[in-house]
Structure 1
Amino acid sequence: MAKHIKSLNDVKDILKPNQPKKHHPSPAAWEDQVFYFLLPDRFSNGNETDQNIYDGSQKGKALGSNDDSNESRAWREAGTRFCGGTLRGLKSKLPYLHDLGITALWIGPIFKQVAWLQTYHGYGVQNFLDVDPRFGTREELQDLVEAAHSMERPMFVILDIILNHCGNVFEYKFHDPVYDRGRTYDVKGFYAAEGDASIPLGPADDSHFPNGAIWPAELQDAASFTRQGRINTSGGWDAFPEYLDGDFFDLKDVALGPSNADNFTPTRALQTLCEAYKYWIAFADIDGYRIDTVKHMGDGPTRYFCSVIHEYAQSIGKERFILMGEVTGGSDKAYETVEATGLDAALGIGNVQENLWKVPRGEADPEWYFGMFRNALYLNKGSHTWYRDKVVTMIDDHDQVWRGDNIGKGRFCSAEGGAELVSSAIMLNLCTLGVPCIYYGTEQAFDGSGNGNGADRYIRETMFGGAFGAFRSKDAHFFNERHEVYQAVSEVTKIRAAEIALRRGRQYLRDISDGEDGEHFGPTKKMGGGRIEGVVAWSRLFAGEEVLCAINTDWKHEKTVWVNIDVDVHPPGSKMQYLSPANGGTVGVEFKAGRSAVKIKVPQGGFVILK
Structure 2
Amino acid sequence: MKKSITLYFLCVMALNSSCQKQNPMTIEQVETALITTERHDLNRVEPPNWWIGFKNTSLQLLIHHPEISKTHPEISYAGVSIKQVHKANSPNYLFIDLEISKNTKPGTFNIIFKQENHEDLVYTYTLKSREQPAEDYVGFNSSDAVYLITPDRFSNGDPSNDIHETLLEKTIDRSNNYARHGGDIQGITNHLDYIQDLGFTAIWPCPLLMNDMSQGSYHGYAMTDFYLIDPRFGTLENYLELSSKMSKKGMKLIMDHVANHCGVEHWWMKDLPFKDWINHQDIFEKSEKDQDVKNPIITSHRRTTNQDQYASEIDKKAMNEGWFVSAMPDLNQRNPFMAKYTIQNSIWWIETAKLSGIRQDTYPYPDKNFMSTWAGEIMNEYPNFSIVGEEWTTNPLLIAYWQQGHQNKDGYNSNLKSPMDFAMQDQIVKGLNNDESFSTGLIEIYKGLANDFAYAKPEDLMVFVDNHDMSRIFTQLKGDVANTKAALSYLLMLPRIPQIYYGTEILMHDFDHPGDHGLIRSDFPGGWEGDSANAFTTEGLTDAQKDMQIYLKKILNYRKTSKAIHEGKTIHFAPEDGVYALFRVLEEETVVHIINKNENGIQLNTQRFDEMGLKGKTLKNIINEQQFDWPESLFLQEKGSIILSTKTD
TM-score of the superposed pair, with normalisation by structure 1: 0.71
Alignment partner of 1:107 is 2:205:
yes
Q: Secondary structure at the match of 2:522?
A: coil
Q: Map Cα deviations across residues 100-147 of structure 1 (whole Å, 9 max, x no partner).
A: 100011111111112433321100001000100111111110000100
Match of 1:302, SS state, is helix
Deviation at 1:510, TM superposition (A): 2.4
More deviation, 415-424/483-492: 415-424
Aligned to 1:279: 348
Tell me which residue corresponds to 1:388.
459
Does 2:619 align with 1:547? no
Distance (whole Å) between structure 1 residues aligned to residue 291 and residue 184 of structure 2: 30
Tell me by how many angstroms 1:228 deviates: 9.9
Q: 1:585 to 1:411 in 2, by over 3 A?
A: closer
Judging changes above 3 Å, is the alpha-carbon distance between structure 1 residues 197 and 157 closer, same or farther for their aligned structure 2 residues?
A: farther
Using structure 2 for the length normalisation, give the TM-score. Answer: 0.67
Distance change >3 Å, CA 234–CA 303, structure 1 → 2 = closer
Q: Which residue is 2:263 aligned to?
A: 167
Which residue of structure 2 aligns with residue 355 of structure 1? 427
Equivalent of residue 252 in structure 1, options 329, 333, 351: 329
Q: Which structure exhibits the higher relative contact order, with contacts defined as CA atoms closer than 8 Å and separated by 6 or more residues? A: 1
Letter in 1 for 2:391: V
Against the structure 1 CA distance between its residues 411 and 9, is the aligned structure 2 distance closer, same or farther, given a 3 Å change threshold? closer
The answer for the alignment partner of 1:158 in structure 2 is 254
How far apart are 1:370 and its partner, in Å?
Answer: 3.3
Q: Which amino acid aligns with 1:41?
A: D
SS, match of residue 592 in structure 2: strand
Once the two structures are superposed, what CA deviation does each residue of 1:534-582 show, in whole Å capped at 9, x if it has no partner?
A: 432211122354221112335x54444223565455264x123123234
1:26-65 residue CA offsets vs partner (Å, 9 max, x unmatched): 55861000111111111111379xxxxxxxxxxxxxxxxx
CA deviation after TM superposition for structure 1 residue 188, in Å: 5.4
2:547 pairs with 1:484: yes
C-alpha spacing 1:235/1:294, structure 2 compared with 1 (3 Å) = closer
State the partner residue of 2:517.
Answer: 456
- Is 1:30 paired with 2:141? yes
The C-alpha deviation readout for 1:345-372, integer Å capped at 9, x for no partner, is 111x432111122334455433433333
Match of 1:133 among 231, 237, 249: 231
**CA 1:306/1:28 → structure 2, altered by over 3 Å: closer, same or farther?**
closer
Deviation string, structure 1 residues 302-352 (Cα, Å, up to 9, x no partner): 100001111222xxxxx32101100121111111111320101111x4321
- Aligned partner of 2:49 in structure 1 is 11
> Cα gap change, 1:464/1:127 in structure 2, threshold over 3 Å: closer, same or farther?
farther
* Alpha-carbon offset, residue 445 of structure 1: 0.4
Could you tell me whether the CA contact under 8 Å between 2:579 and 2:596 is conserved in 1?
A: yes
Give the 3-state SS of the residue equivalent to 2:388 in structure 1.
Answer: strand
Match of 1:305 among 363, 368, 374: 374
Structure 1 residues 452-475: Cα deviation after superposition (integer angstroms, max 9, x where no partner): 5x32111111114689x9xxx976
Match of 2:153 among 42, 45, 65: 42
Paired residues of 1:37 and 1:439 also in contact (CA < 8 A): yes
CA gap of 1:360–1:609, structure 2 versus 1, over 3 A, is farther
Deviations 1:166-205 (A, max 9, x none): 0113789xxxxxxxx98941515889xxxx979xx9xxxx
Alignment check: 8 A CA contact 2:525 2:531 kept: no
Query: Are residue 230 (structure 1) and residue 340 (structure 2) matched?
Result: no
**Secondary structure of residue in 2 paired with 1:540:** strand
Q: Give 1:442 deviation, angstroms.
A: 0.5
Q: What residue number does 1:435 align with?
A: 497
Separation in 2, partners of 1:578, 1:287: 34
Q: 1:2 to 1:82 in 2, by over 3 A?
A: farther
Q: Superposed, which structure 2 residues align to 1:417-436 within 5 Å?
A: 417-436=479-498
State the 1:2 CA deviation: 9.4
What displacement does 1:374 show? 3.8
User: Residues of 1 paired with 2:402 and 2:572: CA distance?
Assistant: 27
8 Å Cα contact 1:540/1:547 also seen in 2: yes
Cα distance in 1, alignment partners of residues 425 and 452 from structure 2: 18
Deviation string, structure 1 residues 442-501 (Cα, Å, up to 9, x no partner): 11101123345x32111111114689x9xxx97644334581111111111122222211
Code of the residue aligned with 2:296 in structure 1: it is: G
Distance 1:231 1:309, change over 3 A: same
Partner residue of 1:242 out of 318, 335, 340: 318
Q: 1:577–1:600: structure 2 CA closer, same or farther, 3 Å change rule?
A: farther
Q: 1:230: how far off? A: 3.0
**Secondary structure class of the residue paired with 1:396:** coil
- Which letter does structure 1 place at the counterpart of 2:297? R
Paired with 1:312 and 1:359, the residues of 2 have a C-alpha distance of: 42
| 2:247 aligns with one of 139, 142, 149 | 149
- In structure 1, the residue matched to 2:397 is 332
The 5-angstrom pairing of residues 183-194 of structure 1 reads: 184-187=282-285
Using a 3 Å threshold, how does the CA distance of structure 1 residues 369 and 430 change in structure 2: closer, same or farther?
same
- Aligned equivalents of 2:368 and 2:291: distance in 1? 33
Within 5 A, what are the aligned runs for 1:284-295?
Answer: 284-295=353-364
**Do the aligned partners of 1:411 and 1:449 also contact (CA within 8 Å) in 2?**
no
State the secondary structure of the residue aligned to 1:125.
coil
Closer, same or farther: CA 76–602 of 1 in aligned 2, 3 Å: farther
Is the alpha carbon distance of 1:500 and 1:229 closer, same or farther for their aligned partners in structure 2, counting shifts above 3 Å? Answer: same
Cα separation, 1, equivalents of 2:47 and 2:364: 31
Quote the offset at 1:76 in angstroms.
Answer: 8.6
Correspondence 1:85-104 to 2 at 5 A: 85-104=183-202
Partner residue, 1:370: 446
Cα RMSD, aligned residues only: 3.6
DSSP 3-state at the match of 1:359: helix
Q: Is contact 2:174–2:180 with CA below 8 Å preserved after alignment? A: no
- Provide the C-alpha distance between the structure 1 equivalents of 2:454 and 2:516, rounded to a whole number of angstroms: 38
- Residues of 2 paired with 1:108 and 1:155: CA distance? 17
Counterpart amino acid of residue 458 in structure 2: Y
Change (3 A) 1:186 1:131: closer
Q: Please name the residue that 1:496 is paired with.
A: 559
2:594 maps to amino acid: A
Bigger Rg, structure 1 or 2: 2
Find the partner of 1:586 among 606, 609, 628.
628
Q: What is the rounded CA distance, in whole Å, between the counterparts of 2:360 and 2:301 in structure 1?
A: 25
Q: Which residue of 503, 507, 510 corresponds with 1:445? A: 507
Distance 1:94 1:158 in 2: 14
Quote the residue 1:562 is aligned against.
605
Tell me if the contact between 1:501 and 1:542 (Cα under 8 Å) persists in the aligned partners: yes
Cα distance change on mapping 1:571 and 1:341 into 2, 3 Å: closer
Tell me if structure 2 keeps the 8 A contact 1:510–1:564: no
Cα distance, 1:241 vs structure 2: 1.7
Question: How far 1:378 moved relative to its partner?
Answer: 6.0
For residue 494 of structure 2, what is the amino acid of its counterpart?
T
- Residue-by-residue CA offset, 1:284-313 (whole Å, 9 max, x unaligned): 111110000011113201100001111222
Structure 2 counterpart SS, 1:341? coil
User: Residue 8 of structure 1: CA displacement?
Assistant: 1.8
Change (3 A) 1:565 1:587: farther
Distance, in Å, in 2 between the alignment partners of 1:581 and 1:26 is: 35
Q: Equivalents in 2 of 1:95, 1:245: separation in Å? A: 43
